[in-house]
Structure formats: C-alpha cells, structure tokens
Structure 1
C-alpha cells in the first residue's frame, strides 16, 4: 500500500489531520461503523464527554484490531458530537492517540442534534492495508 497526504497549507498540522489522503495498491479496506461509548453488553454510557471519547477510541481500536487491521491504516475519520464546545477541551486525547499510532487521515467533525440514547461522541473510520 502507498499512502500520500495532500496538504497545501500547514495550519492543519496543529489539528492532527490531513486535507486529503491518497491511497494506492490497497490490499483491503475496512469501513467501520461509528464507534461510541457503548459497553460490551450494549449499554450506552451516561458518563462525561472525556470518558465517552476515551471509550469511543478504545472501541474503535478494538474493532480495527479484531478485523486484523492496524490503527495506522486509518485514512478517514469522521467525528460526530452533540457539542463541539464540550468536546474541544478533550481534543488533545484524540490527537495523542493519532500521534501514538502515526495515523495520517482526512477528518470531518460534525455537531449533531443527538446521538443514540445518552451518547455524546462517535468515531467512524475507513482503514486500509
């Protein structure tokens, strides 16, 4: 697999994403459903935004590794949140995870009116190898 990021500017570097990611010679692609703070028994979290973000990251990582992929192969990450204002102070948690796995991805963050039950943040990814 060959991956090339396209960044005509530098400002996105501080926000831990790329403007575009080109991928060639892909062996396979994994499309992950949105992962949120849902326990293994299916119970939705009613914890704070920080806790939910950490659990959503852990759940996304588990799906990716269970499928036989690596987080470094994430090329697209969509972030859905019920409050960007509430999420923003915890964005460094996501940035540290991105740096830890050397992820180079295109990102879209959307504030939505609501997520399933008591959820506040959801992460949806496309992963290649």
Structure 2
C-alpha cells in the first residue's frame, strides 16, 4: 500500500490530522462502525467524557486488531460528540494515541445533539492495508 498525505498548510499538524490522504495499491479496506464506550456485555457507559473517550479508543483499536489490521492504517477518522467543549480538554488523549501508532488520517469532528443511550463520544474509522 502507498499512502500520501496532502497538507497545503501547516496548522493542522498541531491538531494531529491531515487535510487529505491518498491511498494507492491497497490490499484491503476496513470500514469500522462508530465505536463508543460500550462494555463487552453491551452496556453503555455513564462515565465522564474523558473515560468515554478512552474506552472508545480502546474499542476502536480492538475492532481494528481483531480484523487483522493495524491502527497505523487508519486513513479516515470521524469523531462524533455531544459536546466539543467538553471533549476538547481531553483531545490530547486522542492525539497521543494517534502519535503512538503513527497514524496519518483525515478527520471530521461533529457535535451532535445525541448519541445512543448515555454515550458522549463515538469514533468511526476507515482503515487500509
């Protein structure tokens, strides 16, 4: 697989994403459903935003690795949250995870009026290998 990031500016680097990602000669593509803070038994978290973000990241990583992919293959990450104001102070948690795996991805973050049950953040990814 060949991956090329396109960044006409530099400011997005501080926010840990790329403006666009081009992929050529991919072996396979994995489209992940939104992963949130849901326990293995299907129970939705009632914890705070920080805890839910950490669990959503862990759940996304579990889906990716169970499918036989690597997190560094993420090329698109959509972030849905019920409060960008509440999520933003915890954004370094996501940035550290991105850096640890060497992920270079395009990102969209949306504030929504609600997520399933008690959830406050959800991560949706496209992964290639």
The TM-score by the shorter chain falls in which range? over 0.9
Q: Which runs of 4+ in 1 moved over 4 A?
A: none
> Partner residue of 1:61?
61
Q: Deviations over 1:46-91 (max 9, x none)?
A: 0000000000000000000000000000000000000000000000
User: What is the TM-score with the length of structure 2 in the denominator?
Assistant: 1.00
Cα distance in 2 between the residues matched to 1:112 and 1:13: 25
How far off its partner does 1:36 sit?
0.1
1: CA distance between counterparts of 2:47 and 2:26?
A: 38
Structure-1-length-normalised TM-score: 1.00
1:23 is aligned to 23
Superposed CA deviations along residues 29-59 of structure 1, whole A, max 9, x for unmatched, are: 0000000000000000000000000000000
* Equivalent position SS for 1:14: helix
Superposed, 1:89-108 pairs within 5 Å as 89-108=89-108
Gaps of 5+ in 1: none
Gap regions ≥5 residues in structure 2 = none
**What does residue 40 of structure 2 align with?**
40
How many correspondences in the alignment?
129
CA distance in 2, matches of 1:13, 1:125: 19
Distance 1:102 1:31 in 2: 19
2:84 is aligned with 1:84? yes
Q: Distance in 2 between matches of 1:88 and 1:14?
A: 13
